[in-house]
Chains A and B, each alone.
Chain A
Amino acid sequence: KNQVEQSPQSLIILEGKNCTLQCNYTVSPFSNLRWYKQDTGRGPVSLTIMTFSENTKSNGRYTATLDADTKQSSLHITASQLSDSASYICVVSLGDFGNEKLTFGTGTRLTIIP
């Protein structure tokens, strides 16, 4: 069982609608949690990075939340656009400074339809 579980595996929504992607993790203790966006045929691009003491961080229409007690994170996308179609990957970092290890989720495949 993967230590970082994402849901749903895939999601299709209409352009302009909002959506929320979920990430549950079991790794601990962790130093930070990241969300990446990966367009088809491209490498992942960082959206947000949150330390364990932060519970929300925004990047434009993307807002990530973190509940370290329940070990859950979510990524909320507001007013979706066609360019939001991509895979979204949750990544948990654990370990000490200079020796962090990343544990990746399998991602949520988001498709925005006009």
Chain B
Amino acid sequence: ETGVTQTPRHLVMGMTNKKSLKCEQHLGHNAMYWYKQSAKKPLELMFVYSLEERVENNSVPSRFSPECPNSSHLFLHLHTLQPEDSALYLCASSQRRGGLEQYFGPGTRLTVT
């Protein structure tokens, strides 16, 4: 297991629900990332935080709302999702933004019904 943990590991939610994904890194890193991984598609970068400040938002729909209260924690708040949002959501961290080594968490498998 890496130094990046994610909860929950699996989540099933209806399109009208509100839920949150949590990521925690124990590596002392300053940058954290949210990625979306859909079947047979490359990982898609969603958000980047550096020193708790959002520095990148890759045209992600507003139904995904990130939050970074401190350098160790990252949340992804979900509301009114669509079935096509079903995917594996991966959190990663690195020592600095764009750092060579990104350490990934195990992911949250999200199913939207």
A-side residues, CB < 8 A to B, are 2, 4, 32, 41-46, 49, 89, 93, 95, 97-107
Contact = CB atoms under 8 A, between A and B. Distances in A.
Contacts of A45: 2, 104
List the 7 shortest-distance A-B pairs measured between CB atoms, nearest first.
A43-B104, A100-B98, A104-B42, A104-B43, A44-B104, A43-B105, A43-B106
Contacts of B98: 93, 95, 97-101
Given A41-B106, A42-B106, A43-B92, A106 B101 contact: no
What is the interface residue range for chain B against chain A? 20 to 34
B21 interface: no
B43 A89 contact: yes
A50 B111 CA distance: 36
A78 B107 CA distance: 29
B4 A43 contact: yes
